Structure formats: C-alpha cells, structure tokens
Structure 1
Amino acid sequence: MTDSPIHEKLAVSVRRLIDATIRTEVSSEVVAAATSEIDSVTGQLGAALMPGSFGERAVANGANPVSGNVVVGARNPSAPPLAIQHESDGSVWTEFTLGAAYEGPPGFVHGGVIAMILDHVLGAPAHKPGRPAYTGTLTVRYHRATPLQRPLRAEARIQTVEGVKNFTVGTISDVDGTTVSAEGVFIHRR
C-alpha cells in the first residue's frame, strides 16, 4: 500500500480525536459510546497492518518515507506535523502550533517535546539526499516556558562542518522572542 492523501486525512482526524479525548467534558455515557465506536474503527483499520514501521519501507528512489515520523510524519497522528522549509543559504525553518497533546506544565509544552522538535529541526540542514545525518549530541537551553496554543517558529542552520560532523544551532520562538535555543552535532556515516 502506498502513502496517500486519504491516510493523511485519517491522521488529521485522529489528531482531532486526541485533542477532544484530552479536553472533553461530556457525560460518562457519551464517553462509553465513543469508546465502543473507536474500538470498532480500530478493529477495521487493524485488519491489514504492514510489518515493522513505516520508515522501514523503501521507495523507488531508495529513500525511506517519513510519513510515520514522530515529528514530520503526515500519517502519524502523534506528529504535530512540522513542514520543514529549506532556504537557499542552507538554513531551515518551520511554523507550527502545539495543542493539548503536547502539554507538560499546565498551559505549556513539555520540555521533552521541545527537545524532540529541536533534534529534528537542527538535524534538517545536515541531511542530504540519500545521506541522512544522525544526532551525535544535542544541548538544549530553556529560556522560558513555551506556551501551548500559540504560533511558534523553529529555525536552524549549520554553524561549521568538520569532516562528517555538522555543528548546528537553532531556536524555538513565539511572538515574545526565543523560548528555547539549542546546539547539536549531526554526523554522516563514513
């Protein structure tokens, strides 16, 4: 089975379901009925599952599809998902808003989610077609809490390259400025 827009629509619906599950205040009877319906749908979808993970598939050009990726995967309802934009100078950026599924402290994004997003965004400038870069180190500095339900922007660039090592820097910001900054080393296999 190939990836398709219908699979992306399913993931969007499940993202809405996750948000509604977290924030619902309906009666116990409505929750019980919804649970039964969700279990039925899960049974339908589970009737034919691929072995392994989505990323283990190879496509025609030899690359691995990212549709199951936890940060950018359009088919992964756990993903925000981020749409990474590449600039001609090699830098990258993405704009996104995180909702209830990403909460840590009340009203704010969980620090581990922030680190996961920065890991992906800082690695993006180092990735080359057919030559992924792997995280060597990631150092994250939290300047202040990152709010939920507010537009955010993550950006990154390569600072220096030493052989197979790409040293990158990046930030996450909101309208009031930087909430988190990070440095990372992303390594290409020899």
Structure 2
Amino acid sequence: MLDFPVENLSAEDVERLRGIFEPLTRSVRELIDATIRTEADADAVAQAKAEIDAATARLRERQLEGSFGVRFGSDGDQMPWGNVVIGMRNPVAPPLVFVPSEIGGVRADFHLGAAYEGPPGHVHGGVAALILDHALGGAASSMDQPRLTGTITMRYRRMTPLGDLHVDAAVVRTEGVKTFAVGHLSDSEGVTVEAEGVFIRPRWARE
C-alpha cells in the first residue's frame, strides 16, 4: 500500500511511484500484444484468463474513482500519467516521449505494434490522427498557456507501416487566442501523414 496520495509529491516520491507503476504498465502493454498475436491452445488461453482476472481483482482492491486526470508534483511538474498518448500508467499509450525540436516545436520517436493496426500491417488512421493532434497541441501549448484543439485537418499521403515512427510539430503563427500549428508523421522512407490545426486558448486560461 502506498503511504502518500498521488498529488503534491516531491521529485523523489514521483520517481518512487514511477518505479512502482511503470514496470506494471510495460507488462500490460506486453500482455495486450501477446493477446493479439497468441496462437496458444484453448486450455492455455483459459488459464491465462483466470490469472489475468485474479490480477485485475487484486489491482481493483484499491483504486481511484474516475480517471487519473493530471496530477502535479510539489514543484509544479505535470503528471498526465493516464493520458492515452503519453501516459506512463496507461498501457494503451505507446507511450510517446516528446522533446523540443530544432525548429522550436516538439518531436518524438516511438514504436507502434500490433495493438495500433488498421489496414493489415499498417497504423489505423485514427491512431495517426490521435498522435498528430497531441503533437500539434503540445507544440501550441505551454505550462501557463494551455490550448485545446479547435480544428484539425489530416492529409494521408500514404499508409503508415507499423514499427518505428517519428512525429514533428511546430507553431506557424498566433493570432489572439488562436494558435496555428503544423506537423507530420513519418517512417524511415519519409512523411506518411501531414496535419494542420487551430488551437484555442480556453476562456478559463485567458486571465
């Protein structure tokens, strides 16, 4: 049992929590991939289901109500650990780790496996849109100036193969409460999807 709440944590406590939950999340990601690709027989599948159900019941003995949201450490750092793109505790997230790019935006290298398939062997178009929406929003926002998606347009230049991928995003211009951003998804052969969007500073963040 954890002896502190998941909020207002020191940097040391944040790392302690990361050390507890990140390995669990990685294991569940592996489980998702194994579930999709297994060719085990019926008895092995039934045994695995029973073990998974038991583990799920154990984890539900103590849990948050609702979603994880965004928690904050005592130094103000964000902890969006439930986020579907970057969440350290979300096994659905690849997850992406964004860093500043050379052109002043954000970029990330990442891997998408069987869990993200649309057309056989390729990334689902909605997953590509999800990643680009997050990347453009990240480029358009800052800690003290959050911006939310107003509109976003996708151009699918070709199918995106599953595997190692890259995303880039940057701001084009800002006009009042609107920030215009562009980005692209690419593989080793070049760009597969392009995006451009308008991101709005919400009313509650304008003062």
TM range (shorter): over 0.9
Instruction: Specify the alignment match of 1:54 in structure 2.
Output: 68
Return 5+ residue gaps in structure 2 as ranges. Answer: 7-16
Instruction: Specify the alignment match of 1:122 in structure 2.
Output: 136
Instruction: Specify the alignment match of 2:9 in structure 1.
Output: none
Query: For residues 66 and 141 of structure 2, what CA distance do their matches in structure 1 show?
Result: 24
Q: Residue 145 of structure 1 is aligned with which of 141, 144, 159? A: 159
**8 A contact 1:62–1:130 mirrored in 2:** no
Q: Is 1:172 the equivalent of 2:185?
A: yes
The letter of the residue matching 1:66 is P
What count of residue pairs does the alignment treat as equivalent? 189
Q: Is 1:40 the equivalent of 2:51?
A: no
The letter of the residue matching 2:145 is R
Return 5+ residue gaps in structure 1 as ranges. Answer: none
Query: For residues 116 and 17 of structure 1, what CA distance do their matches in structure 2 show?
Result: 22
**8 A contact 2:25–2:91 mirrored in 1:** yes
Instruction: Specify the alignment match of 2:36 in structure 1.
Output: 22
Query: For residues 20 and 39 of structure 2, what CA distance do their matches in structure 1 show?
Result: 30
The letter of the residue matching 1:159 is V
Q: TM-score, normalised by structure 2?
A: 0.87
Query: For residues 30 and 113 of structure 1, what CA distance do their matches in structure 2 show?
Result: 31
Cα deviation per residue 1:39-93 (whole Å; 9 max; x = unaligned)? 0000000000111211154543566521100000011000000000113642110
**8 A contact 1:159–1:167 mirrored in 2:** yes
Q: TM-score, normalised by structure 1?
A: 0.94
Q: Residue 83 of structure 2 is aligned with which of 52, 59, 69? A: 69
Instruction: Specify the alignment match of 1:188 in structure 2.
Output: 201
The letter of the residue matching 1:174 is D
